[in-house]
Amino acid sequence: MDGFRDELIPQTIIFNGIEQVIGFQQQFPNYVKKPYVDQVTDNLSYGFGLSASIPIYNNNLTSAAVQKSKLNAARANLNYIQSKETLKITIGQALSDARAAKSRYQASTKTLNAQTNLYNNALKRFDIGNLNAFELTRLKSQMETTSVNLLIAKYDYFFRTKVLDFYLGKPIRF
């Protein structure tokens, strides 16, 4: 760039219905063509710098980072141990639930056998006229309720054994 030049820029305006031309003076830069090599040498600069990094003293950031990493590793190890203990407790609870379900299933089986025998005896007593229809219906209802309870206990026991199979890593099949 080699200085500035002044130019008059005409503008046409309409004032009271009459068209008028007015001008504004503006400055424009004068550009001079310069070879590329001269541009590079004109903008070339030299500098000198010195830098030093001393890792011995950096506000103990390195040792703090190492201690933080050790704490994170210890925390992860404790979380792992806690997860193992939680899993042991969960498996123990599942085993206890399966044993209790088996006991309920066995007890329901015995109860159904007893209710069936009681109903069969009541049916014989009803046939000979020694028992009224209300008592027979009540005993039949008790036997059917016991049968339903047996089915519930059976499927509960089945479910609990499948939960144990899951924890043992066995595939679950029906």
pLDDT in tens, 123-150: 999 999 898 999 999 999 999 999 999 9
What is the mean pLDDT, run by run of 10 residues, along the chain of 174 residues?
80 82 81 75 73 68 87 96 94 94 96 96 92 93 96 96 90 78
Task: Note down the domain range covering 141.
Answer: 88-168
- The pLDDT assigned to 87 comes to 92
- The pLDDT assigned to 96 comes to 95
Residues 105 and 161 in one domain: yes
Distances (CA, A) of 173 to 129, 159, 163, 169, 170: 51, 11, 11, 12, 9
Residues 38 and 93 in one domain: no
Question: Shortest CA distance to 157 belongs to which of 123, 120, 109, 114?
Answer: 109
The answer to whether the CB of 62 falls within 8 A of the CB of 38 is no
Helix 133-168 to helix 61-127 angle, to the nearest 10 degrees? 150
- The pLDDT assigned to 55 comes to 62
The answer to whether the CB of 136 falls within 8 A of the CB of 126 is yes
Q: For residue 74, is it within any domain? A: no
- The pLDDT assigned to 109 comes to 97
Q: 146: Cβ–Cβ under 8 A, 6 or more apart, which residues?
A: 108, 111, 112, 115
- The pLDDT assigned to 100 comes to 96
Residues 98 and 156 in one domain: yes
Residues 38 and 92 in one domain: no
Distances (CA, A) of 29 to 26, 42, 116: 10, 19, 115
- What 8-state DSSP symbol labels residue 128? T
